[in-house]
Amino acid sequence: MSARELITDHLDLWTGAVTQKRSGGRGNNGKIELTGIKKLRELILELAVRGKLVEQDPEDISFSDLLLNLRHDYTPPKTRGRQTVSGEVTPDEQPFKKPKGWAWTRLGEIVEVLDSQRKPITKSARKDGPYPYYGASGIVDYVDGYLFDEPLVLVGEDGAKWDKGEGTAFPISGKTWVNNHAHVLRPRREAITDEYLVYFLTAADLNPYITGMTVPKLNQARLSSIPVATPSLEEQHRIVEKVDELMALCDRLEQQVGDQLEAHEVLVDTLLDALTRSADAAEVTASWARIAEHFDTLFTTEASIDKLKQAILQLAVMGRLVEQDPNDEPASVLLERIAEEKVRLVKEGKIRKQKPLPEIAHDEYPFEIPTGWAMSRMDDITNIISGIAKGKKLSGKKAVWVPYLRVANVQRGALDLSEVKEIEMACDEVEKYTVEKRDLLITEGGDWDKVGRTAIWNADIKPMTHQNHVFRARLILGEQNEHWIEKYLNSGIAREYFANSSKQTTNLASINKTQLRSCIVPVPPLDEQQRIVDKVDELMALCDQLKNRLAEAGATRTHLAEAVVEQAVN
């Protein structure tokens, strides 16, 4: 099977195998890795350096013969430090069987290592200029001088990645400066081309040659000892030409898949936006019908399902997910009971009296509420306190170490208690900062997407306290529904309020206690709150099941792509 057939016959695998990244920027496309095409690129390089990508030509000069002449005529240059080239490559060191006419040699035999000529410049000492300043993984800066003025190959010495396909080796040309984090190689061009050398080192796993645990490093001796399978120069040129051709095809595939993902994302955004902007039940039904008709083609990525979950949550907190019941007790009656209880708690000294907040004007409403609902502020329906500050002076007080909750522990709608740290605090303050079951925990800030993140405390760790970057909101009445408040605070509407209210710096945002107290929260009748919470939980569980099936299907496609690579190579 030719390389082109290998691509076209398995096109669905290469373009369909995508992986959801677990971290990334704000854009969703940045969270998708085109795993299949990445595997295809690795396969192309692997086939190339094993001699399985192009035909061998019996008229080519055998590299084995060329190597004998090279060894006879060549005297290694004297360079600072060691340039160890140790003997023949033993069969145990050869990762694959070489084709006829090829030879195994060590890298130090076919390149000159020019590390003695490189020179680092501290950032403060660099002067701006037109010449690229290279480090382990590429251009770091531009400076006003240069050390080299010729085509060379750089290989990361430290601070690089040495896995297959990671681009540890890369070519440079023209006037350049190289620091001490990249090895500088001048290929012996009577033996090897720059391009073939880069492709070979990119296809290789260099991790076995790395030393050091704290600061991993590919030292010069290990670098020079790396075995390189080398064909004739004529075949190297044919291999490079074919690799370039196939990599260009991968580029086109990558662009095509990227465009499809972007168009898919726009379509999902448009349809879900129309759904959440529906003015009444009839519009919701019509918008949902359009989505349902194409559900299987719309929700095919984890990102699209996450957006569907946000749309469900937004419909829920706006009262458009379940039927209203005219027999439900109006929310205004519930708010009256909460207000009476709050007065009593203040009078008895159980909670502090707060400075009154202004009444909610109708133009402040984030949306038009259904009949029987009411608008309140967080301060009207909960008692909010800040947590304990780290490093607080105890001034000789009796102290104790207790566990405490940080921003990292409070995820959106869930707690992460995999790592709970302890803090020292005065014994007489432990009760004040202890969280109780059903308390709402709200993050003060951190990264832009963490501000206002809310979860409910439901664990059995006692006592558990919270630091000052996590607010605690406690219900006033036992009959209140903390799950309703949590779902609202994690909805897009509340998140928009926190984003607009927060103090923001580069990639960071934070809210203060007054902004949290002022947050407007819609209050449905109690019975309707529970119906909404139940429906949201039901639909979220279905979304999670769909995500799991997608993840399993994606893993299967990735395994199939790996199997095709393995079969093709072996």
How far is residue 148 CA from its own chain's centroid? 37
Per-residue burial over 337-347, b if 16 or more Cβ lie within 10 Å, else e, is: ebeeebeeeee
Residue 24 pLDDT greater than 50, yes or no: no
225 and 362 housed in the same domain: no
Q: 10-13 — which CB contacts under 8 Å span 24+ positions?
A: 10/561, 10/564, 11/253, 13/557, 13/560, 13/561, 13/564
Q: What is the mean pLDDT of residues 170-192?
A: 95
In which domain, by residue range, is 400 found?
Answer: 356-524
Which of 166, 201, 231 represents a domain boundary (last residue)? 231
Please tell me the distance from the alpha carbon of residue 528 to that of residue 530, in angstroms, as a whole number. Answer: 5
Is 72 contained in some domain? yes
Q: Which region among 280-289, 484-493, 521-530 has the lowest average model confidence (pLDDT)?
A: 280-289
Is 277 contained in some domain? no
Residue range 520-552, pLDDT digits in tens: 999 999 999 999 999 999 999 999 998 888 878
- Is the pTM higher than 0.85? The answer reads no
The conformational region for residue 103 under phi > 0 = left, psi -120 to 50 = alpha, else beta, is beta
Q: What is the DSSP string of 76-143?
A: PPP-SS-----S---GGG-SSPPPTT-EEEEHHHHEEE-GGG-----GGG----SEEEEETTEEEEEE
Is 80 contained in some domain? yes
Structure tokens at 241: 């030409």
Structure tokens at 383: 């008692």
Q: Which region among 53-67, 70-84, 228-242, 533-547 has the lowest average model confidence (pLDDT)?
A: 70-84
Is 87 contained in some domain? yes
Q: What is the mean pLDDT of residues 304-317?
A: 91
Q: What is the mean pLDDT of residues 135-153?
A: 95
CB atoms within 10 A of CB 191: 23
Give ∠ CA 110-164-553 in degrees, rounded to 5: 160
Please tell me the distance from the alpha carbon of residue 164 to that of residue 153, in angstroms, as a whole number. Answer: 17
Residue 29 pLDDT greater than 50, yes or no: no
Q: What is the CATH number of the domain that holds 515?
A: 3.90.220.20
> Average model confidence (pLDDT) for the chain?
87
Please tell me the distance from the alpha carbon of residue 228 to that of residue 94, in angstroms, as a whole number. Answer: 9
Domain count, the chain: 2
Please tell me the distance from the alpha carbon of residue 410 to that of residue 412, in angstroms, as a whole number. Answer: 7
Is 406 contained in some domain? yes
Is 264 contained in some domain? no
Which of 231, 248, 282 represents a domain boundary (last residue)? 231
Q: Which residue has the higher pLDDT, 75 or 180?
A: 180
Categorize the per-residue pLDDT at 30 as very low, low, confident or very high, splitting at 50, 70 and 90: very low
How far is residue 212 CA from its own chain's centroid? 27
Is 454 contained in some domain? yes
Structure tokens at 90: 């033993």
Please tell me the distance from the alpha carbon of residue 343 to that of residue 530, in angstroms, as a whole number. Answer: 26
**Alpha-carbon separation of residue 564 from 46, 391, 440, 550 (angstroms):** 13, 57, 50, 21
H/E stretch holding 64 reads: helix 63-73
Identify whether the C-beta of residue 543 lies closer than 8 Å to the C-beta of residue 305.
yes
At 28 the pLDDT is 40
At 276 the pLDDT is 84
88 and 221 housed in the same domain: yes
Is 382 contained in some domain? yes
Residue 202 pLDDT greater than 90, yes or no: yes
Which of 205, 231, 257 represents a domain boundary (last residue)? 231
Categorize the per-residue pLDDT at 27 as very low, low, confident or very high, splitting at 50, 70 and 90: very low
Q: Give the pairing of strands 445-447 and 508-510.
A: antiparallel
